[in-house]
Structure 1
C-alpha cells in the first residue's frame, strides 16, 4: 500500500484529514455519553471507586472476560476517574479505527483516507458492537490498522517492536482483542516484504511479545474456570442469518446475536442492499487489481474480505454449528464463540478497498468522477445504518450513583458476598430503561458470588450459557445460615427494585442500616442477631434474555 495518489497533498495532511473525519463521526455518535458520572449499559459498566478485588483480577473461578481491563481501570482510577476512562474508550473505539486507516493509507491522498475512515466508523458492525455493550471489544478491532502500520514501520527492529507494543496494549485489554492483535501482527510480519534489518528473529520476537500480552487472561483462565464445555455458547452467540435477508445482513457487517442490539433499519431492504453493495464494490476493486503494490497485500485483503463472512455463516447453522458447539469443550475456544466479532476484519478490508478504488478512479477519470464516487460511497455507508447514532445516543448516558452506594460497599468490607437477585443484569430507575450488568463485584474488596449465566433469545426460545453454582442461593432461600457459612458466605447484598426474585432473609441475618439501592445483611457472626426488618421476597420478572 505504498503507491502515491495523484491528488495533491502530503501524506501527513492526508492522514490528518482522515483523522479529523473519524473523530467528528465518532463524536457525532457518542457525544451524549460525555459528562460527569459512569456509564451503565449492558456489559459496559463501572463503579465510582473500583478496587483490585478477586472479581477484577479474574480469580473467582469464572471466565476472565474482562481481564486485564478491570484491573487496569482500578489502577488508573485514582488519577483518571473510572467514568472518564469509559468515555475515552467509547469514543476511541470508533475514532481510532478511522484514524488508523488514515495513517495506513496516507500515501494515497486525503480522499482515500476520509472515505476509508467513514466506511469503517459508520458501519453496522461498529453500531451493533456498541449496542451490545462492548466498546472494549471494538477497541481491539480499532487497533488493527495501527498494528499493521507498526509492523511495517521503517527503521530498526527495536523501533518496530516498540511501535507494535504501543499499538497492541489497547487491544490486549480484553482476551479477544489480545488474540486478534497477536494474529494481525504475525500475519502482517509474515506477509511483509523483506527489508534491511528484518529477519526471523524479529518475527519470533513479535510472536513472543504477542504471547506475553495475552498472559493476563491466560493465567486467570488457568487459575479459575475457563468456561470449557459450554457447548450452548456456539448456538447462543452465532450470527443471526435466517434466509437471504439474514445472509445479506451478515454480509454487510450486521447479524448480531443479541436482539436488543439489532438495528431496526437492518430489517429493511435499503439498508441491507446499501451495505452489501459496498462489500461487492470492494470485491470488484480487488478483482480488477492495480490498486495494490504487492501480491501479498491482495491476498491478505482477499482473505479478510471473504473468510470472516464464510466462517460466520458456516458456523451459524447445520453441521458447522454442531461441530463448533463440540469445539467449545476445548479450554479457550469459548473466546471465539461470538462469531459476529470476526466480521470486523471484513469491515476494515472493505473500507481500505473502497478508499483505494476511489483513488484509482481519480487517476483514470479525474477528480470530478472520483468526487461523485466518494459521495456515493459515503451515502451508502450512512444508508447501511441510518439509525445507528440515535440508538447509541439513547444507550450511553452518564449517570451518578445514588447516595448510600458507598455506604453499603463499606458495610460489606472485604467479606465474601452473595449478590441477589440471582441473575446477572439489573435495572434501576436512576439509570434508565436499559438493563446493565451488575457492577457491584467491581466495588467489593472481597469475593463476590454472583450469577453469570447468560440467556440469549434464539429461535423463539432462550439459550442459557453458563453453569452457576447455586448452593449459596439455595441456603439463603431456605434460611440455612450454617450452610451459607459453610459455603464461605459472610454477607448478602440484595438490589432493591430490580427484576428477579429475592427470598425473604432468615431471622438470624443481621441487617445493616443503609440507604440507596443496596440492602446488606451480615451472616459471618454465628450468634443470633436481631430479626431482619420486613419481608424482602419479591419477583419482578427476568431480563436476562438479551
Structure 2
C-alpha cells in the first residue's frame, strides 16, 4: 500500500501551497513598505517623476549599475507610479524566489515546496541584500528557479526559448542579474541535454539569447564609462569572514560587507548554529541521495524538478559560491582579485556576497528533497515534524530580519518645492552638493539614501561617486572623483565652472557634508524644500 502524501493533492496544489507560504513570508517582512510615496533607503531610491536623462540611460560616464532598470522605471512611470514599481519589486524579490522553488519542486509534494520556499525567503542572504538597499539584485536571484523551470520545460524549442526570455527579463534589469541569468541558463541547458526533444545547439542558442539581454548595460558601459573598476573595490566589497564566527556567518548566507546591513543576531551562536545546521543537513541529503533506493528519487518523464543526475549541479551550487567568496576575501585570492578589477566589466562581480545566493537556493532545494525522502521512507508524521523543524531553524537563523526591514523600508512623500526646483534646473548640466553620494533628510526618517536627484534631472549631473566602506578598523575609498567643478565652485571661479560645462548648482540642505558658500556671481533661485538652486549660466538679477 502506498503511503499518502503529507498534504495529498496534485502538483499544482503543492506549488500553490509553497507559493502561499512564500508570499506570506514576503509580506511579513515588507508590509510597512506598502503605501503612497517612494522608498528612499540606501541604493534603493526613486523620484516621483523619473526622466530619461543621461544618468538613467547610463551615458554620463558612471558605471551602468542600474541599466536598464532606471530607464524601464521612467518609461512605465506614467502608467505605474514609480513608488508602486518599487514596492512591487521589493515584495517580488522575496516572493518570486520562494514561488519559483515551489514550482520547481511541485511534483515532490507540498512539504518539499513549503520547506524550499521558506528556507529561501527567510534567509540571512535575502535579509542582508535588502538591508544594503538592493531589491533589484535580489530580484535577479529570485528568478533563478524560474529560469531552471523554463529551460527544463517540455515542448517545442521555440516555446522553451520564449519561456526563458520571459523568466530572464526581470533578472536582466540589472547587470549582475543579467549575468546570473545567463550563467544559470547555460549550465541548466547543458545539464538538460539528456531530456527528450533537446537539440544539441540549444545551449548555444540560449547562451546567445543571454548575451542579447545583457546588451543594454554592455553598450552603455562601452559608450559612457570613463574608467575600469577600482582595485580597492575587491577589498571593500569582499565578504566579512573574520575568524570561525565570520566563516560560519558566510556559510549560512551572511557576512555582507556593509556593517549597517548586518543582522545583530548573526553575531551570536544561536543564529549561526541554526543556519549552519541547515547547510549541513542539505549536504547530508546531497551525500545520501545517490545511495537512496531508486523509487525515492524516481520522477515522471515530465517532471521539471531536479533529477538524480542533477545532484552534481546542486552540489556545485552548494559549495562553490561559498568557497570562492571566502577565497577572494583575503590572502592570495584577494591579492589576485584586486588587480583583476581593471578588466572592463569584471567589477560587476566584486561584491562577492551576491554569489552566496546560489548556495541559499541549493540549500533550499536539497532540504525540500530531504523532506520528500523522509516522507517516502518514514511516513507523513515524520515528514511533518521535519518540515516544522526546518521552518523553525530557518527563522532562528535570522530572527531579527523583519524588524530591521520594517524600520528600513517605509514610503515617503517628497516635500513641496522638489518639483519646482527640478523644473528650474531644466536640462542644464548640474553640479550637486555636498560632495558625497549619500544624503540624510529628516522627512525620510534620518536613514541614509543614495542621492535620487540624477533620476529627476534631464541634463548631465556632476556629483560624487566615491564610496567609503568601513573595513578592518579603517575605511576603504572606492572611486576616483573628478573634482574640477567642485574646486571651481569652492574658489568662486564661475568662468572655470562654465568651462567645465556646469550651468547650475544644486545643494541639499540639512544633510551631511561640507556646505560651500556660493560665489557672488551665481544667481540664487528662490525655492522651498530641501534643494537650493543657483544658476551659473545666467547673470545675477540687479535689484534697485
Provide the TM-score with structure 1 as the length reference.
0.95
8 Å contact kept, 1:227–1:466: no
Task: Tell me the CA shift for residue 227 of structure 1.
Answer: 4.7
Aligned to 2:160: 160
* 2:230 alignment partner, SS class: coil
Residue by residue over 1:86-110, the C-alpha shift from the partner in whole angstroms, topping out at 9 and shown as x without a partner, is: 0000000000000000000000001
Aligned to 1:61: 61
Aligned to 1:340: 353
Distance 1:227 1:233, change over 3 A: farther
Aligned equivalents of 1:381 and 1:286: distance in 2?
19
Aligned to 1:474: 487
Residue by residue over 1:261-315, the C-alpha shift from the partner in whole angstroms, topping out at 9 and shown as x without a partner, is: 0000000000000000000000000000146554541100000000011001000
Aligned equivalents of 2:381 and 2:146: distance in 1?
31
Q: What is the 5 A alignment of 1:144-543?
A: 144-225=144-225, 227-289=227-289, 290=292, 292=297, 294-525=307-538, 527-530=539-542
Aligned equivalents of 1:229 and 1:179: distance in 2?
17
Q: What is the 5 A alignment of 1:79-90?
A: 79-90=79-90
Aligned to 2:106: 106
8 Å contact kept, 1:292–1:298: no
Residue by residue over 1:43-92, the C-alpha shift from the partner in whole angstroms, topping out at 9 and shown as x without a partner, is: 00000000000000000001000000000000000000000000000000
Aligned equivalents of 1:7 and 1:476: distance in 2?
69
8 Å contact kept, 1:6–1:363: no
Aligned to 1:542: none
Task: Tell me the CA shift for residue 5 of structure 1.
Answer: 6.7
Unaligned runs of 5+ in 1: 532-546
Distance 1:162 1:509, change over 3 A: same
Task: Tell me the CA shift for residue 371 of structure 1.
Answer: 1.0
Aligned equivalents of 2:229 and 2:210: distance in 1?
26
Provide the TM-score with structure 2 as the length reference.
0.95
Aligned to 2:38: 38
Distance 1:119 1:488, change over 3 A: same
Aligned equivalents of 1:299 and 1:5: distance in 2?
27
Aligned equivalents of 1:137 and 1:327: distance in 2?
22
Distance 1:530 1:389, change over 3 A: farther
Residue by residue over 1:158-189, the C-alpha shift from the partner in whole angstroms, topping out at 9 and shown as x without a partner, is: 11000000000000000000000000000000
Aligned to 1:138: 138
Task: Tell me the CA shift for residue 17 of structure 1.
Answer: 0.2
Distance 1:186 1:260, change over 3 A: same
Aligned equivalents of 1:227 and 1:137: distance in 2?
23
Aligned equivalents of 1:232 and 1:105: distance in 2?
41
8 Å contact kept, 1:263–1:388: yes
Task: Tell me the CA shift for residue 502 of structure 1.
Answer: 2.0
Residue by residue over 1:403-459, the C-alpha shift from the partner in whole angstroms, topping out at 9 and shown as x without a partner, is: 000000000000000000000000000000210000000000101111111100000
Q: CA RMSD in A?
A: 1.3
Aligned to 1:534: none
8 Å contact kept, 1:508–1:530: no
Aligned to 1:538: none
* 2:387 alignment partner, SS class: helix
8 Å contact kept, 2:42–2:133: yes
Aligned equivalents of 1:181 and 1:5: distance in 2?
34
* 1:126 alignment partner, SS class: helix
8 Å contact kept, 2:19–2:95: yes
8 Å contact kept, 2:43–2:134: yes
Aligned equivalents of 1:228 and 1:40: distance in 2?
28
Task: Tell me the CA shift for residue 246 of structure 1.
Answer: 0.1
Aligned equivalents of 1:508 and 1:421: distance in 2?
19
Task: Tell me the CA shift for residue 203 of structure 1.
Answer: 2.1
8 Å contact kept, 2:371–2:386: yes
